[in-house]
Each structure stands twice: as C-alpha cells, then as structure tokens.
Amino acid sequence: MNDYHFTDQVPPADYRVDFKASIFHETRHLKLQAEQGWQSFFILNQKHKTVSGCVHIHVKDEQAVSPLKASFGSFVFSESLPAEILFRFIAYAESQLKTMGVKHVTFTNPPDAYQHYHSQMLQVLLNNSGYRTLRAELGTVITIDNQSLESKMHEWEVRKLKQAREAEFIFNAASQNPVDEVFQFILNARKEKGYTLSMNQVMMERTVEAFPDRFIFFEVMKGFERTAASIAIRVTDTILYNFYSAHHSRYDAWSPVVMLMDGMYNWCQQHAITLLDLGTSALEHEPNFSLFDFKLRLGAHPTAKLTFTKDLA
C-alpha cells in the first residue's frame, strides 16, 4: 500500500499509464468542455512507475463536477488497483476540493457494462464515502461476438430488416467526414418529433475536428436519399457509442434504424469492437420505455449509468 502516492501534479514523463481511459478523459476533450477550471488528481504507483488512476473535475465557485459537458467522467483506474487505495483516493480528492472552497461535488460514472467490475467497486465505495445517487439512467448495450445481430433480434425486427433489404435500402459507413450533412439530418429528424440535441453543429464540428479518428458516421440510403443516420464515437479502442442517431419519418414503415444498427454491429465485428453502446433510453431524465423496449428487441441488454453527488460543507 505504501507504493501508492496521490498528487495534483502532472505525472512524471517516465510514468506509464496503467488504465484504459475514454475519449472523455483525454486532455483535448477536457479543453473542449472548458478551457479553464479543471483540477486533476492522480494515483501514482511509485514502485512500478505507473499512473494507476485519475479523476478530472471542473471547479467553478462552490461547485465541482466530473464531467462538465460530456457523457461521463468520474474516476478511472487500473484493473489491479486495490479497493482500499481507490477509497482513500476518493477521500483525497474531496479534501483537495474542500481546500478550494468547494461545497458540492457530482460524478457521472460510465455505464456499468463498460467495465462491470470497476463500476460495481466504484459505486460501492462512493456510497461508503457518503455519496448519494442523484440520477439513474437506463441504457442498453449490445455485446459484439461472432454471431450475427439478426440472430439476436426479435422476429419483428428481423422482418423489418428483411423488408428494408428487399426495398434496396443500403447501409454505408462514411469514408469522409460528413458531419454537417449528418448532423443536420439528425437534428431535423429530432425536431420533427419535438426533441433537441445536447450539442449544436459548431460544437460538434469542433469535437470531430479534435478527434477525427474517433468519430464514425453511418447511414442508410434509399437511392440518393438518407433515411437514417448515426454519429458514433469510439470512446475506447473496444467500445463504440451510438451518440446521436435518427431516421426520417417518411420511412417509418421500413424502420431503417434496424438496418442502421445491423450495419453498425457488422462494422464493430470488423474493427475489434466488443461492445456497442446504444445510449440511454430517457427523456428529461425519465425512462422512455418504448425506446428501451425497441433496443431490447434489437438484441441489446440493459445497463445503468449512475450520477453521484455529495455536499462537502
């Protein structure tokens, strides 16, 4: 236990990172969320010269949040990190925040399915540290294996997939960056249904420009017309996150999203992705059961994304 050291300083250059961080933990993404206000804390294993964990927290006035503007943040750590060290690290981060005058802190964890062992341990230790659940979001993920997605689908969705094929709908993974076209298509489709998006086009374009290798664009075409599309993020080397997706209401009868997800699943098989995250099924933090049930019929299974909060004053 004495090998571990906590610090708010940037780790030495000769220390190797010993955990898999997501795009949302990278410095470039933090800077997109906010240029200033970040406080980062690290766990160093001095014996092995590794960075065994970290957390990036945005502080403004008396409020601290992780993340500020992203799908999730919170603590990220090595598979081999002892639970006691993580527990102490949570306390260390709190004590540092208190010295800055922070009175309220909030952490949004990744979906449980990303790293189930990590999630369970972190949730318990946050509870043990006096945190309460602020928000629980119901999500769905599809495990990528050697089976086809069609073999996992409910028979009704298989029927829709076959109808789209018979009608000569075509799935494509974009070879170039069509962020303007795809974003506007998704935005317009969402507006038709009375929904909005969490990002505007300028924000999306800036993020894609910063991470050109992490954003993948998918679409289903009928002739020259786009019927469904997705902006997906490769949040880690092995996880693809369906960030935004939608379909044109004119094609409701064919349910082109089924073909879209089938194509994305096949793409994941070809690119060493082991998990396809379909995102949360919620509207204004309330469960959207029809959307949730649809995703389950596609072959997904449930997962939870929890947000924890604590008053430090």
What is the per-residue pLDDT for 105?
98
* Assigned domain for 167 exists: yes
Domain range spanning residue 155? Answer: 145-273
Which is higher by pLDDT, 287 or 298? 298
What type of residue sits at position 101? Answer: G
Asked if residue 166 and residue 236 are part of one domain, the reply reads: yes
* Assigned domain for 281 exists: no
- pLDDT (tens digit, 9 = 90+) per residue, 49-107? 999 999 999 999 999 999 999 999 999 999 999 999 999 999 999 999 999 999 999 99
Q: Is the distance from CB of 177 to CB of 219 less than 8 angstroms?
A: no
What is the per-residue pLDDT for 175?
60
What is the per-residue pLDDT for 196?
85
Dihedral pair phi/psi, residue 178, rounded to 5°: -100, 40
Give the integer Cα–Cα distance in Å for 76 and 119: 10
Total number of domains constituting the chain: 2
* Assigned domain for 11 exists: yes
As a whole number of Å, the CA-based R_g of the chain is 21
Tokens linked to 92 = 């260390």
Asked if residue 177 and residue 59 are part of one domain, the reply reads: no
Res. 116 pLDDT band, cuts 50 70 90:
confident
What is the per-residue pLDDT for 122?
97
Output the average pLDDT for the chain: 95
What CATH number is given to the structural domain containing 233?
3.40.630.30
The arithmetic mean of pLDDT across residues 199-213, rounded, is 93
What is the per-residue pLDDT for 193?
84
What is the per-residue pLDDT for 194?
83
What is the per-residue pLDDT for 17?
96
Residue 247 clears pLDDT 70, i.e. is over it: yes
Q: Is 194 exposed, middle or buried (0-12, 13-18, 19+ CB in 10 A)?
A: exposed
Residues forming a β-bridge with 266: none
Residues forming a β-bridge with 279: 140
Asked if residue 86 and residue 50 are part of one domain, the reply reads: yes
Q: Report the C-alpha dihedral over residues 173, 174, 178, 184, rounded to 10 degrees.
A: -20
* Assigned domain for 279 exists: no
- pLDDT (tens digit, 9 = 90+) per residue, 257-295? 999 999 999 999 999 999 999 999 877 778 899 999 999
Q: How far apart are the first and last CA of the chain?
A: 30
What is the per-residue pLDDT for 124?
97
* Assigned domain for 127 exists: yes
What is the per-residue pLDDT for 45?
96
Give the integer Cα–Cα distance in Å for 142 and 264: 11
Number of other residues whose CB lies within 10 A of the CB of residue 30? 22
